[in-house]
Amino acid sequence: RGGYESASKHFNPADVEVDVGGRSFLVTGSNSGIGKATAKEIAKRGGTVHLVCRNKERAQVAQEEIVTETGNQNIFLHIVDISNPKEVWKFAEKFRNEHKLNVLINNAGCMVNNRELTEDGLEKNFATNTLGTYILTTALLPLLEKEADARVITVSSGGMLVQKLNISDLQSENGTFDGTMVYAQNKRQQVVLTEQWAKTHRNIHFSVMHPGWADTPAVRSSMPDFYEKMKNSLRTEAQGADTVVWLAVSAEATKLPSGLFFQDRQPVAVHLPLANTHSPPEDEEKLMEVLEAFSQKFRSSSPG
């Protein structure tokens, strides 16, 4: 929290004092934590918000809360499990036919501490954090391409700084499984995805960010020891969401180049000095090829 408080002294409040009425935002994982805080801030500014959540009951509660607190009726709910690639495809294809989209916020994520497989035989962290993010984004790019000032923001984590991209073991089949490190690897993959998309889709602004360590249900459940030790100094959910909101609504954000990694409204380095986490360009291209192959495999088996 201290980091946020000192950084925020330099924020320009006017950056986010904007009316985004008529613009459409899709936020994944938006029934709690940073996703819900982000959705609420966008709703306050008049945006149309599509909440994409896995748990219907919790999502309906969040939807009602956002409508009540903001007075914005344009809050729509879609129940999708981002770890299920067929479901993501089906949702995206339907969404493309029915809605417009200006800003996609990839916030849904998970940190599963034991190696678990989804019904499709995918390791669960990879299926949610990397493949789900890849499929949803690529499937919605045609919709974003139609709009002026289209943006894609992915919520990553500073944990990725300890990981070098490893394309040889995307499903964590080798060695001892460490959920925290698998999550950090997925978050590194999201940074690479963002950089690659920024190169190929020039009329969409891509960014990826670290929210700082915030007091969210996800941190409490997946990192209980860390939470107990740090709970008094964690950021609030709104502080964690601040840079996401800034990237989603401010005119300042898009003055900076596409493809950057942000913390506290500032672009920051994606590699620590001497950390040896740089990967060769061919590994980054290979990641895109592998994800595209996975993605198409699940697309062809989905109806439509």
- What contacts 126, CB < 8 A, 6 or more positions away? 170, 171, 172, 182, 186
Lookup result for tokens 């005119």: 251
- 183 is known as an active-site residue: yes
Catalytic residue among 4, 134, 183, 227: 183
| Cα separation, 271 vs 207, whole angstroms | 16
- What contacts 177, CB < 8 A, 6 or more positions away? 114, 115
Secondary structure (3-state) at 279 = coil
The phi, psi pair for 34, rounded to 5°, reads -65, -35
| Cα separation, 182 vs 270, whole angstroms | 17
Q: How far apart are the first and last CA of the chain?
A: 46
| Cα separation, 261 vs 269, whole angstroms | 7
Positive or negative, the CA dihedral 181, 187, 188, 189 is positive
Q: Pinpoint the alpha helices (H) of the chain.
A: 2-8, 33-44, 56-70, 85-98, 124-125, 133-145, 179-200, 217-222, 224-230, 237-249, 281-300
User: Catalytic positions, please?
Assistant: 183
